Structure 1
Amino acid sequence: MVRHRVLSEEPAHDGAPAVDPGFEGQVPRNRGVGMLIIAAYGVFAVSSFARALYQISTDFGTSPVAYLLSAFAAAVYILATYALAHTSVRWWTVALAAVLIELIGVVGVGLWTVLDPELFNRSTVWSHFGAGYGYIPLILPFIGLLWLLKHRPRSA
């Protein structure tokens, strides 16, 4: 049986990070399945950042809108990863905002790439609802939202 320490505002004597009291009595959302969700966001943060950096530095003039959207997606994934890994109420709010922006982005860019394909002569992470990534970019924000809402702080 795994024991979880009830976290408080005071730092623990064992060096474990303190957590915002809004989560008192809850298992931190960055443990267990939460670690897998954070890892998935981390993979997308790294891959989308590398893709955007490469596209912008080698071929920016070919499709600037697509490449800038790739960079924006990378920034959203980086922020979401960082926010999900932290356990305060403030970071929960940031994570929620980042995941909502991700959802709006993947749906919006997905529709945009279907309706105006000439503008997107190169793919982005969110093109065609994340088809190039096995539609995981479309599924991931729903998983992130469910996880965040399940681990909602009492004060939110």
Structure 2
Amino acid sequence: MSIEIERKYLVNNDTFKHLSHKAIRITQGYLNSDKARTVRVRMMGDQGFLTIKGLSDQAGLSRFEWEKEISMSEAQALLKLCEPGVIDKTRYLVEYQKQIFEVDEFYGENQGLIVAELELTTAQQAVSKPDWLGDEVTGDKRYYNSTLMKQPYSQWA
């Protein structure tokens, strides 16, 4: 069990794709998307995961996270039990000044949304920002995957 500390940013352009050292397709659903706790099922490449996340702190910067690898057959079975709505995206791993940004390009009803996340070791850690990184949206619940499942980007006014 651990505390996840991360910052989240919009992405200005697709320059990150050329800088990426890895891209992996992700499909995920939520067994529970309550704001106080989420239970996520994820298929990432050929691996399955079950993740529980707690309520974010006031700034939206940190929260409890527990994750366990499960078999693909278990992940596929659990996805059938999830709440309506599926998140489909490609995650690109991009190194910039010894930091690894996870850049998610969304598909389906969230097509057009690209968000970068950076996991930190402390909340005070300095962030070096590449020029393709846009506005910070850390703590903006609209950009949480559990919210995008219910209120997709394509439906925003």
TM over 0.5: no
Structure with bigger gyration radius: 1
TM-score normalised according to structure 2 size: 0.25
TM-score normalised according to structure 1 size: 0.25
Structure having the higher helix fraction is: 1
